[in-house]
Amino acid sequence: MARVFSGIQPSGELHIGNYLGAVQNWVTLQHQHDCLFCVVDLHAITQPYDVSSLAQRTIEMAIGLLAVGLDPERAIVFVQSHVPEHSELNWLLNTVTPLGELERQTQFKDKAQRHDSIPAGLLNYPVLQAADVLLYRATLVPVGEDQLQHLELMREIARRWNTRFAEGAGFTLPEPQALLATAKRVLGLDGRAKMSKSLGNTIGLFDTPETIWEKLKPAATDPARVTRKDPGNPEICNIFTIHQGFSPPATQQQVAHNCRTAGWGCLDCKRVLADNMIATLTPLRERAQELRAEPGRVREILRAAATKARALARATLARVRQCMGLLEGAEA
């Protein structure tokens, strides 16, 4: 069985973009592979963040992952900082990571612009990401397109480490492959930027039916459709993309037809979408509520998962240390 690793930042809110673009697929993958899914709090602290809410956002993200159907019996769902080996491997991999490649990462260049003084952690973000995956010798990494550059660098880091240290040791760090999300990317309700909590353009996965409708009503559609009589183009309508995630195929066809012929106004289309979203999301919201009412249970799930992850992580790290010539004795 292939091993799968992916991570998500503890933004505090799982939204429908995360769900359709990533997490829904994770739920499927847990039935096919040996999976680890990680709330990457150590990545989250590379950007300015609210210290007082980090722990709460972390547990809320874990609750979200469990509520959508990740099963602790099948997949290891854990918090990155609970497994300190991520940080240790990060350091070891820093020694084979080319600085030029880090500086070339588009995400680094974008995020660096927001700082007067760029923290080194922001530059090293992709090295920690490589450590996340290589620590478990995972070979499949489900990600969105925006992570492909990080994945390429991760492969380069594995290659360099192998060239320098694995030779003759009978132990290698396998080069992981991206497992690209097939779903079309959902934009934010503004119809412009990607859906993201920090942009305030999301529909939360656990929003109430009232909130879902309140947010859908004013959401951007095909910009060329100005009046009720204008025919629309579902291909360029973000609301149609969301239909593709929540409405059955027959409804999608009906929606597309009524959009192209101006048979429906955008509000009619949104009402159908709201109903389908609410039907899908209500059980998930209820499960999240149950888990929130049992914080002790969630913590216990995370603790047990971290213990499992740590056992795997330590086995890899022992070999990595050995290959790199470090003096034994760290087990003590």
Residues 40-59: x where in contact with ligand TRP by CB under 6 A, - otherwise, as a string:
x--x----------------
Judged by CB under 6 A, does residue 129 bind ligand TRP? yes
184 catalytic per annotation: no
Going by the DSSP 8-state scheme, the letter that residue 192 receives in this structure is S
Tell me how far apart the alpha carbons of residues 81 and 86 are, in angstroms, rounded to a whole number: 8
Judged by CB under 6 A, does residue 221 bind ligand TRP? no
Tell me how far apart the alpha carbons of residues 31 and 12 are, in angstroms, rounded to a whole number: 26
C-beta of 75: minimal distance to ligand TRP in Å? 14
Q: Regarding beta strands 75-79 and 140-143, do their DSSP bridges make them parallel or antiparallel, or are they unpaired?
A: unpaired
Of the candidate residues 3, 4, 7, 206, the single one contacting ligand TRP (CB under 6 A): 7
The DSSP H or E segment spanning 4 is strand 3-8
Read off the amino acid at residue 94: N
Residues 21-40: x where in contact with ligand TRP by CB under 6 A, - otherwise, as a string:
-------------------x
Sheet holding 34-39, edge to edge: 75-79, 34-39, 3-8, 140-143, 177-180
Residues 225-264: x where in contact with ligand TRP by CB under 6 A, - otherwise, as a string:
----------------------------------------
Judged by CB under 6 A, does residue 102 bind ligand TRP? no
Question: How big is the chain, counted in residues?
Answer: 332
Alpha-carbon distance values, 309 to 5, 79, 172, 304, 330 (Å): 11, 10, 19, 9, 18
C-beta closer to ligand TRP: residue 43 or 285: 43
Of the candidate residues 133, 158, 195, 291, the single one contacting ligand TRP (CB under 6 A): 133
194 catalytic per annotation: yes
C-beta of 7: minimal distance to ligand TRP in Å? 3
Of the candidate residues 46, 58, 81, 147, the single one contacting ligand TRP (CB under 6 A): 147
C-beta closer to ligand TRP: residue 123 or 274: 123
Sort residue 325 into left (φ over 0), alpha (ψ -120 to 50) or beta.
left
Tell me how far apart the alpha carbons of residues 156 and 132 are, in angstroms, rounded to a whole number: 15
Residues labelled as active-site residues: 111, 194, 197
Q: Interface residues with ligand TRP (CB under 6 A)?
A: 5-7, 9, 40, 43, 129, 132-133, 141, 143, 147
